[in-house]
Each structure stands twice: as structure tokens, then as C-alpha cells.
Amino acid sequence: MVRITTRCGRRHTNRSSASHDILTSHSKRHLHDLPDARFSSDYEPTLKEGEALLQTICGAQLTSVDFVLDYLILGFGPKGALTTLVWPEIQNGDSVVRFGVGGYRDCLCEFITQVVQAVEITEDETIFITFENKSRLRIRLRDRKVPGERAIFSAPRHHLFAW
């Protein structure tokens, strides 16, 4: 079943208006942006579609790092936010800092105010966010073995993409 969420959060089970957003188990996009074929339950968004939307954070500063129980929200000011249920690895030169290591949270917070230089999503579903100082975050989405979303990018104008 396709669920449609209005901007005020009420859910409907029909395709009533182009001003609504569509939410499937994988993506949320404006209805007027989607061909009718994408309303079928067979539609599976591609990694390239997710990467294209995530590219909007290039040139943006990381403005917040929010630790919430067992997930993380990376805020990029007005460009959007990436919620991830997979803890990113922090790569700085030859060193890698992983969740659970002392100083991990402090190291992650040091990225605040850094500007995103590049974003890439590889075929093995790994998100790389590279900053101007050449450090980067590696988010291996396949590391999360439970069913459901592993990361969600919410962009301006109510765009939402889930992996």
C-alpha cells in the first residue's frame, strides 16, 4: 500500500493531490515529480536517485550532530539532515575511528562547521561524505542487518529519501 503524508502529518491512503508527498518503504517525493509507474508497489528507487538528492549538501556546513539513543542525525543547516541508524566511521588520513572507541563522539562533533566537499554512494551501499579538510565519514548501510530503513535524508521542500 502507498501511504501519502500531507505536510501537516495526516496520513491518507489515496493519491488525492499533487501538493502531498508520497511515502513508500524506500522513498518520499513530491507526487508531481513521479511518473505513474512509480506509484506501483514494485517501484524501487535507485542508489543514484538517493545520491542525487544527497548531493544537495555539497558546499553546506555540518551544523549539528545529534546523538539520539541508537541513531545519529547530521544536520546541514537549510540543506537538510541525514539520520543514520548505522554509526559512521571517521576517516582522517590513515586513521579510522569507529563507534565504541573512546573519543568517538568528540571526534564526530569536531566536524561541526566543516564544509562538505563531496558525497558519494557506492554500489555496496556505502555513503561517503568528504569535507574540505579531506576527512570523511563512511556510513556502511549494509552493516545494519535488521529490516527497515538504515538512513533517511530529509531535504528542503519536504523531500525525503530512505535507504
Is the pLDDT at 2 greater than 70? The verdict is no
Does the pTM of the predicted model rise above 0.75? Answer: no
Mean pLDDT on 23-47: 49
Instruction: Identify the band that residue 10 occupies on the pLDDT scale cut at 50, 70 and 90.
Output: very low
CB of 134 within 8 A of CB of 146?
no
Instruction: Round to the nearest angstrom and report the end-to-end CA distance of the chain.
Output: 18
In the predicted structure, residue 45 carries a pLDDT above the cut 50: yes
Domain ranges of the chain: 3-43, 49-162
- Containing 66, the helix (H) or strand (E) segment is strand 64-68
Q: What is the pLDDT of residue 153?
A: 96
Question: With bands split at pLDDT 50, 70 and 90, how would you rate the model's confidence at 118?
Answer: very high
